[in-house]
Structure 1
Amino acid sequence: MNYMYGTIVFVHVVSAVLSIGPLFLLMPTIKRLRNVDVSTESAYLSVIHVIIRIVMHSGHMLVISGVLLILTGPWPWYASWVIATLAVLLLSGVFLSTGFTKVLRKYHLPESNKGDLLTILNRTSWIYIGLMLIMLWLMVQKPMLW
């Protein structure tokens, strides 16, 4: 059982890294996307879509491994840090689905201002990184909030 718990912790840590790390690639990609021609634009947008997919799927693994850790670990579901992590998790899930997807859908519309959308995408990336770092702090520190 101890081997299984260690394996789940490893999966959880790797999925946490994969759910935060690729987002830092968005900033230089967005910066370069501002000054490219239409033929190169689709390549950069493909990179952004891949990054968001990696973040999304690693987030799924993060949630699954987190649930398994709570089920098999020494912490109860009602611990304050677990509840706070779940609240931030729900917030970041909603934020990820609305903040990135809606902006990228608007990007190809003829009436859209691509510069403004890229600014929103960059800001959204930083906010999501902040939410993920809050969750990371909660999971590592395990503070008793109440």
Structure 2
Amino acid sequence: MKLDIYGVMVFMHVFSAILSIGPLFLLMPVIKRVRGVGTEVEQAYMSVINVIIRIVMHAGHLLVVTGALLVFLGPWPWYTSWVIVTLIILLLSGVFLATGFTRVLRKFNKPGANKNEILRRLNRTSWGYIGLMLIMLWLMVQKPMLW
């Protein structure tokens, strides 16, 4: 049996796409439960939130690497319209992750922080990131020629 490196890359790319979107759907109920709980329980929920964000971030790294390898090994040139648009959205999602999740989570334990506002922003950011990821998923599957 011959090992098909391109097929392995496709599998890893799809798997990392699932891992970079799926855990965010777990984030919504966890965020909802954080409101109005005691400090110890709150810290436990925040640990779960941090783990979810780390999974999404690391899966995103694998997604980028495997995507770059697929474009390099595959039949599509870098200047194809759907590749360019995907790269632009990829950069936006990176900024989104850094500002929407990491900075917001750092503020949560600071004295005087408005925790409800932080949780609201975290929820809104999650939905925004899911939206960006779904657009990228559409671009990867459909591969539309935009120009």
| Band the TM-score falls in, shorter-chain normalisation | over 0.9
SS at match of 1:57: helix
Matched position secondary structure for 1:21: helix
- 2:116 is equivalent to residue 115 of structure 1: yes
* 1:34-80 Cα distance to aligned partner (Å, 9 max, x none): 02111111110000000000000000000000011001100000000
Q: Is structure 2 residue 67 aligned with structure 1 residue 66?
A: yes
Distance 1:58 1:136 in 2: 14
1:109 Cα offset (Å): 1.4
| Structure 2, unpaired ranges of 5+ | none
For the residues of structure 1 that align with 2:26 and 2:117, how far apart are their CA atoms?
A: 19
Structure 1 unpaired stretches of 5+:
none
Runs of 4+ deviating beyond 6 Å? none
Map of 1:4 onto structure 2: 5
Helix, strand or coil: the match of 1:45?
helix
Following superposition of structure 1 onto structure 2, how do residues 74-89 of structure 1 map, counting pairs within 5 Å?
74-89=75-90
Partner residue, 2:125: 124
Q: How many matched pairs?
A: 146
Q: Distance in 2 between matches of 1:117 and 1:103?
A: 6
Give 2:46's aligned amino acid. L
Q: Deviations over 1:94-113 (max 9, x none)?
A: 11011001111111112211
> Aligned residues: percent identity?
70
Query: RMSD between aligned alpha carbons?
Result: 1.0
